[in-house]
Chains A and B, each alone.
Chain A
């Protein structure tokens, strides 16, 4: 099994190599040296690629941001979720930016959305366009929200770093639980493109909170399942660099290393040079 590594610097700084590869894929460049991550995005139907280019995810998220700021949005903390009452405009933007899931309630005129912890924290802390309200009715500071999230989910710092790392790069990131992974990352709206990566967020260093891929049977299990649902396994190794987890500001010193794990088929790679071009390593 081969792995492809690419490393990232601090939060927000982005990974130039990873982005460059994405740009090249988007431009349809074909590389002959066989040493590139060569997965062309599989757009659903004609015109999808054009639609996506005309309407980049960054712009959609920016519209959501503006709308939430204008409406002075507030979310209610409930166990592992944040519930938001959304008007028609905000609902529309939540759907387009793929944040949260709409929930059916008895209230006909109002639309409620349920956000996962990472989604909520991203809107509150990274985009600063949402505030969370606790059961006591008071607004939670980012630090309080961070502590709350950690208490609900000890691996939250790691999983949040992975989530925000991808969202910052304008990937759509959703829960991957039904696929046996942490997240699913799409290049654009799922309606337009087949999802590309099944993401596992693992911690580097001594506190191994997310116990995945420690034994070979798990590696085989995960790679095989990802293969059967046409996704590439992407592992994000988050290193806290001994910064601890006492406050969300620790996050900027975490580093993320990306690795894809795919099967290498000796028979397929042997003779056919052209098939190599379209294959991932």
Chain B
């Protein structure tokens, strides 16, 4: 499935300014400014200057929040975004409610306590981000994430991502019954996205520390509708086809 660019020139813009480069700039800028985020329930809040705000927006990490402070800009990061910056990119430190900087292990335990499915959901988030996809919350589309191949202003999101886990702890209870499969595929179709299920296997590594993540394996599957009438005569059809159910 080819990316659907929004308007003329978007594709050129995106090619001139690849996401990998923007994220790299964000990483450098965060390291230089020794930015620290504040842990607040299920989010991390960061205070940023204009340059960082611009980089966060362009790389699609966090959401700007309006505050009473006019001169400062605050961003709110989701759990997966915050942990990606801390653990994978090593460019952010997070301070707990007690005022102390949390180690990656401490942060990991904290996030797991807030969201039991966090290890698996983080694996999927980081898996896609490593490949330079922009990954945002998919809750309003009834899925876990939506993935764009560049900034949402330039391109329509292609994939609606559901996190599934293999093995005994199937914490994210989706697509267990046919009605859910139909519901999700139909909704994704109506918002022009392909359903991408990313199945994480913890390979019995458990989830004690973030280092377990490297031994998790990931399998990607797209689920689309197969229309017998459409596929029958047109020979060029299956060439661009994704795996169908």
| A interface, CB within 8 angstroms of B | 176-182, 200, 210-212, 214-218, 220-222, 224-225, 228
Q: Is B149 an interface residue (CB 8 A)?
A: no
User: Are B179 and A177 touching (Cβ within 8 A)?
Assistant: yes
In whole angstroms, how far apart are the Cα atoms of A176 and B186 in the complex?
A: 13
Partner of B179, one of A176, A215, A216, A228: A176
Find B142's partner among A179, A200, A222 (CB 8 Å cutoff). A222
Q: Which of B139, B162, B177, B190 contacts A220 (CB 8 A)?
A: B139
Interface: B176 (CB within 8 A): yes
Q: Nearest chain B CB to A183's CB is how many angstroms away?
A: 10
* Interface residue SS majority, chain A: helix
C-alpha gap A177/B181 in the complex (Å) = 10
Contacts of A180 in B (CB 8 A): 179-184, 186-187
Chain B residues within 8 Å of A210, by CB = 177, 179
**CA of A225 to CA of B182 in the docked complex: distance in angstroms?**
10
Q: Which of B173, B181, B182, B184 contacts A215 (CB 8 A)?
A: B173
Apart from A182-B179, A217-B172, A221-B180: 6 A-B pairs, beta carbons within 8 A: A211-B173, A216-B139, A217-B142, A220-B139, A220-B140, A221-B141
B96 adjacent to chain A (CB < 8 Å): no
B81 at the interface (CB under 8 A from A): no
Q: Say yes or no for B152: interface residue by CB 8 A criterion.
A: no
Chain B residues whose C-beta falls within 8 Å of the C-beta of A211 in the assembled complex: 173, 176-177, 180
Nearest residue (CB) in A for B188 is A221
Residue A221 contacts which of B172, B173, B183 (CB distance < 8 angstroms)? B183
Say how far B144's CB is from chain A's closest CB, in angstroms: 6
The answer, yes or no, to whether B174 is at the interface (CB within 8 Å) is yes
B100 at the interface (CB under 8 A from A): no
Give complex CA distance A214, B179 in Å. 14
- Which B residues from 165 to 224 make CB contacts under 8 A with A? 172-174, 176-184, 186-187, 190
List, sorted by A's number, 18 A–B pairs whose CB atoms are closer than 8 Å: A176-B179, A178-B182, A178-B186, A179-B186, A180-B179, A180-B182, A180-B186, A181-B183, A212-B177, A216-B139, A217-B138, A218-B183, A221-B141, A221-B142, A221-B187, A222-B142, A224-B140, A225-B142
Residue of A nearest to B172 (CB): A215
Contacts of A178 in B (CB 8 A): 182, 186
Check B172–A212 contact: CB distance below 8 A.
no
Q: Which residues of A contact B190 (CB under 8 A)?
A: 225, 228
Top 7 nearest A-B pairs by Cβ distance?
A: A180-B183, A221-B142, A211-B176, A214-B173, A220-B142, A180-B182, A225-B187
Residue of A nearest to B171 (CB): A215
Residues of chain A within 8 A of B30, CB atoms compared: none
Does B143 touch A at the CB level, under 8 Å?
Answer: yes
Once the chains are docked, how many angstroms separate the CA of A176 from the CA of B182? 10
CB distance from B139 to the nearest CB of A (A): 6
B179–A221 contact, CB under 8 A? no
**CA separation between A216 and B173, bound complex, in Å?**
10
CA distance A228 to B139 in the complex (A): 16
The complex places the Cα of A211 from the Cα of B178 at a distance, in Å, of 10
* Contact (Cβ within 8 A) B139 A217: yes
With A180-B183, A180-B186: A217-B177 Cβ-Cβ less than 8 Å? no
CA distance A173 to B173 in the complex (A): 27
| Contact status A217-B143, CB under 8 Å | yes
Task: Contacts A211-B177, A212-B177, A218-B173 given; indicate if A224 touches B182 (C-beta within 8 A).
Answer: no
On chain A, the residues within 8 Å of B143 by CB distance are 217, 221
Q: Judge whether B179 and A224 touch: CB under 8 Å.
A: no
* Distance in Å: Cβ of B194 to nearest Cβ of chain A: 15
CB of B142 within 8 A of CB of A181, answer no
> Roughly how many angstroms separate A177 CA and B141 CA in the complex, as a whole number?
19
- Do A217 and B174 touch (CB < 8 A)? yes
Are B174 and A224 interface neighbours, CB within 8 A? Answer: no
- Interface pair B142/A215, CB less than 8 Å apart: no
Query: How distant is the Cα of A37 from the Cα of B173 in the complex, in angstroms?
Result: 30
Cα distance A215–B182 when bound, in Å?
17
Q: How far is A235 from B52 in the complex, measured between Cα atoms in Å?
A: 46
B227 CB → nearest A CB, Å: 13
CB-based contact B180/A218 at 8 Å:
yes
Residues of B within 8 A of A215 (CB): 172-174
CB neighbours of B181 from chain A (8 A): 180
Chain A: which residue is nearest B174 at the CB level? A218
